[in-house]
Amino acid sequence: MLSNTEENYLKALLYLTTDEAGKKEAGTNDLAAHLGLKPATVNDMLKRLKEKAYVSYKKYGKITLTRAGRDIAVFVMRKHRLWETFLCEVLAFSWDEVHEVAEQLEHIQSDKLTERLDKFLNYPDYDPHGDPIPKPNGKMPPRATTLLSSVAIQQSCTVAAVKDTSSVFLQYLEQLSIGIGTKIRVMEKISFDGSVILQVGKEKITVSEKFANSLLVD
C-alpha cells in the first residue's frame, strides 16, 4: 500500500502531465515546485516510484506515469473531489475551504467508503469547482474547455468550472454572486487591457482579462 506521500507525488504527476497544467511532460523541478520540495528530494522519491513501477523515465529525462501509477493517481483524485463535494453539499463548507481538508481525506483507504460516499452524494459528475469526478472505472466526465475570455460579444454562457481555485479568486467570485451554473452575458470587450464587461443577473460588472481567463463556461 502506498504512503500518503507517494500518493501525493503520483497525483502531482497526473496534474502536471494532463491538460490542466498545459504541458504533457514533467521534470524533477516541476514536481519539486508543485509539491513545495527540493529537487534532490523529488529525485530520491522518483527512484523509489520507478522501482515500484509507478513512474517511468530515464536519467535526465522526462517523467511519465505508468498505467498502474496513473490508476492510483486518478483514484486519489476521485476521492479528493468526492470529499470536496461532500464538504460543500452536506456540511455546508464554502468552496474556498474544502481543498485543504480534502487533501487529507483523499488518503483514507476504504473502497467501501468511497463507493458509499459516491452513492450518498447521488453520483455527482463534477466537484464544487466544476472539475470532473473520475468514475470507479477511471473514466472522467467531459471537462469544460471554453474560456470566458473567448466568448463572443452579446453571447450568453453558463459558468462550468473555475480554472484558478485560489481562495482569493473563489471569494471574489462569491462576492460577485458568481458560481457554477451562473448565467453570464458578455456585453463588451475593452481592447486597451482586455477587460470584459459582463451582465450577471441584473448587474453589469467589469472584470479583468486575468479574470476572464480563469473561468470556464459552456
Partner DNA sequence: TATAAAAGTTAGATTAATCTAACTTTTATT
Partner DNA sequence: AATAAAAGTTAGATTAATCTAACTTTTATA
- Give me the residues that bind DNA (CB under 7 A), please: 3, 5-6, 27-30, 36-41, 43-48, 57, 59-62
Beta carbon of residue 8, minimum distance to a second copy (angstroms, whole number): 15
H helices present in the chain, as ranges:
4-16, 28-35, 39-51, 67-89, 98-105, 111-120, 167-175, 209-212
Q: Which residues contact 15 (CB under 8 A, 6 or more apart)?
A: 21, 34
**Residues at the interface with a second copy (CB under 8 A):** 87, 90-93, 97, 100-101, 104-105, 108-110, 112-113, 116-117, 120
In contact, 77 and 11? CB cutoff 8 Å:
yes
Q: Which is nearer to a second copy, 30 or 106 (CB)?
A: 106
Q: In degrees, to the nearest 5, what angle opens at C-alpha 93 toward C-alphas 90 and 98?
A: 105
| Partner touching 22 among Mn ion, DNA, a second copy, none, CB below 5 to 8 Å by kind | none
CB-based closest residue to Mn ion? 129
| Partner touching 45 among DNA, Mn ion, a second copy, none, CB below 5 to 8 Å by kind | DNA
Q: Which residues contact 9 (CB under 8 A, 6 or more apart)?
A: 31, 35, 42, 45, 46, 49
| Partner touching 23 among Mn ion, a second copy, DNA, none, CB below 5 to 8 Å by kind | none
Q: Which is nearer to Mn ion, 186 or 217 (CB)?
A: 217
